[in-house]
Chains A and B, each alone.
Chain A
Amino acid sequence: MSGINDFAFKIGTVNGTGSASANALLMQAIFRMGIPVTGKNIFPSNIQGLPTWYEIRVSRDGYTARPSAVDLVVALNPSTYAKDVATVRPGGYLLYDSTWPLDPDLVREGITILGIPFGQLCVDAFEGDRDRTLLRNIAYAGSLAALLGIDMEIVGGMLTEKYGKKPKLMASNQKAIQLGYGYAMEHFACPLPFHLAKMDATADSILIDGNTASALGCVFAGATVGAWYPITPATALMEAFKGFCEKYRVDPETGMHNYAILQAEDEIAAAGIVIGAGWAGARSFTNTSGPGISLMQEFIGLAYYTDIPAVFFDVQRCGPATGMPTRTQQADLMTLAYASHGDTKHIVLFPADPHEAFGMAVESFDLAERFQTPVFVASDLDIGMNDWMVKRLTWDDRYRPDRGKVLDAAALEALPRFSRYADVDGDGIAARTLPGVSPKGAYFVRGSGHDKHAAYTEDSDAYLEVVDRLKRKFAHAATMVPAPAIHSHGPADVGLVTIGGCDAAVREAADILRAQGIAADVMRIRAFPFGEAVREFIAGHERVFVIEQNRDAQLRSLLTIELSVDPNTLTSILDYGGMPLTAKVVVDAVSAHLAGVTA
Chain B
Amino acid sequence: MTSIAKPPVRHPSSRTNGRGLALRDYEGAMSTLCAGCGHDSVTAALVQAAWELELEPHRVGKMSGIGCSSKTTAYFMKQSHGFNSVHGRMPSVTSGAAAANRSLTYIGISGDGDSLSIGFGQLSHAIRRNVDMLYVIENNGVYGLTKGQFSASADIGSLSKKGEANEQAPIDPVLLALTLGATFVARSFSGDKKQLVPILKAGLAHNGLALVDVISPCVSFNDHEGSTKSYSFTRDHEVEVVQTDFVPLQREITVPETDAHVRVVQMHDGSKVRLRATQADYDPTNRESAYAYVRDCQLRHELATGLLFVDEGGRSMHEMLRTVEKPLIDVPYEELCPGSAALDALMRRFR
Contact = CB atoms under 8 A, between A and B. Distances in A.
Given A255-B322, A277-B99, A220 B343 contact: yes
B31 to A, nearest CB: 13
Interface in A156-170: none
Given A273-B96, A273-B99, A258 B84 contact: no
Tell me which of B100, B103, B333, B343 has the highest count of chain A C-beta atoms within 10 A of its own C-beta: B100
B337 A220 contact: yes
Contacts of B91: 269, 272
B92 A225 contact: no
A436 B58 contact: yes
Contact of A445 (B84, B99, B331): B84
Contact of B324 (A248, A258, A435): A258
Nearest to B322: A257
Contacts of A256: 322-325
A598 interface: no
A442 B100 contact: no
Contacts of A280: 61, 96-97, 100-101, 104, 329
Contact of A448 (B81, B84, B92): B84
B351 A31 contact: yes
A259 interface: yes
A225 B328 contact: yes
Interface in A205-219: 206-208, 216, 219
Contacts of B323: 256-260
Interface in B211-242: none
B72 interface: no
A255 B78 CA distance: 39
B35 interface: no
Interface in A414-462: 434-439, 441-448, 455-456
Contacts of B86: 272, 298-299, 302, 447
Nearest to B103: A436
A225 B100 contact: yes
A124 interface: no
A282 interface: yes
A439 B58 contact: yes
A397 B343 CA distance: 11
Contacts of B53: none
Interface stretch (A323-331, A388-396, A535-543): A388-396
Contacts of A219: 336-338
Interface string B88-121: 0101111111111101100000000000000001
Contacts of A261: 321
B129 interface: yes
B100 A224 contact: yes
B158 interface: no
Contacts of A216: 343, 346
A44 interface: no
A144 B315 CA distance: 54
A418 to B, nearest CB: 12
B301 interface: no
B250 interface: no
B80 A442 contact: yes
A256 B326 CA distance: 10
Contacts of B96: 225, 227, 262, 272-280, 282, 284
A133 to B, nearest CB: 28
B42 to A, nearest CB: 18
A528 B344 CA distance: 31
A484 B124 CA distance: 46
Given A256-B324, A282-B100, A299-B86, A393 B93 contact: no
B246 interface: no
A267 B342 CA distance: 32
- What is the predominant secondary structure among interface residues of chain A facing chain B? mixed
A408 interface: no
Interface string B45-59: 000000000001111
B101 A436 contact: yes
A423 B339 CA distance: 36
Given A257-B321, A275-B93, A394-B343, A439 B79 contact: yes
Contacts of A397: 339-340
Which of A436, A445, A455 counts the most chain B CB atoms within 10 A? A436
Contact of A442 (B81, B336, B339, B351): B81
A368 to B, nearest CB: 14
B2 interface: yes
Given A265-B121, A279-B97, A272 B343 contact: no
Contact of A207 (B2, B122, B322, B350): B350
B300 to A, nearest CB: 34
Interface string A381-411: 0000000000011111101110000000000
Contact of A259 (B124, B328, B344): B328
Interface string B304-325: 0000000000000000011111
B173 interface: no
B92 A272 contact: yes
A441 B58 contact: yes
A298 B66 CA distance: 13
B276 interface: no
A175 interface: no
B2 A456 contact: yes
Contacts of B58: 435-439, 441-442
Contacts of A224: 100, 328-329, 331, 336
A437 B343 CA distance: 34
Given A260-B321, A276-B95, A281-B100, A444 B333 contact: no
Contacts of B168: none
Given A256-B325, A273-B93, A447-B84, A435 B343 contact: no
A257 B333 contact: no
Contact of B100 (A206, A277, A444): A277
A265 B336 CA distance: 27
Contact of B104 (A255, A435, A443): A435
B351 A436 contact: no
Given A269-B121, A436-B101, A447-B86, A206 B321 contact: no
A472 interface: no
A251 interface: yes
A395 B324 contact: no
A32 interface: yes
B129 A262 contact: yes
B89 A268 contact: yes
A216 B349 CA distance: 13
B247 interface: no
Nearest to A212: B350
Contacts of A299: 85-86, 89
B61 to A, nearest CB: 6
A32 B351 CA distance: 7
B1 interface: yes
A224 B327 CA distance: 10
Contacts of B329: 224, 280-282, 434
Most B-side CB within 10 Å, residue of A264, A266, A277 = A277
A258 B83 CA distance: 25
Given A260-B328, A279-B97, A280-B329, A273 B82 contact: no
B22 interface: no
A445 B89 CA distance: 14
Contact of A222 (B63, B337, B343): B337
10 contacts: A227-B92, A258-B328, A260-B100, A269-B121, A272-B86, A394-B343, A395-B339, A444-B73, A445-B83, A456-B1
By Cβ-Cβ distance, the 9 closest A-B pairs, closest first, are A276-B96, A272-B92, A282-B100, A273-B96, A276-B93, A206-B350, A277-B96, A280-B100, A444-B82
Interface of B: 1-3, 56-59, 61, 63, 73-74, 78-86, 89, 91-101, 103-104, 121-122, 124-125, 129, 321-326, 328-329, 331, 333, 335-340, 342-344, 346-347, 350-351
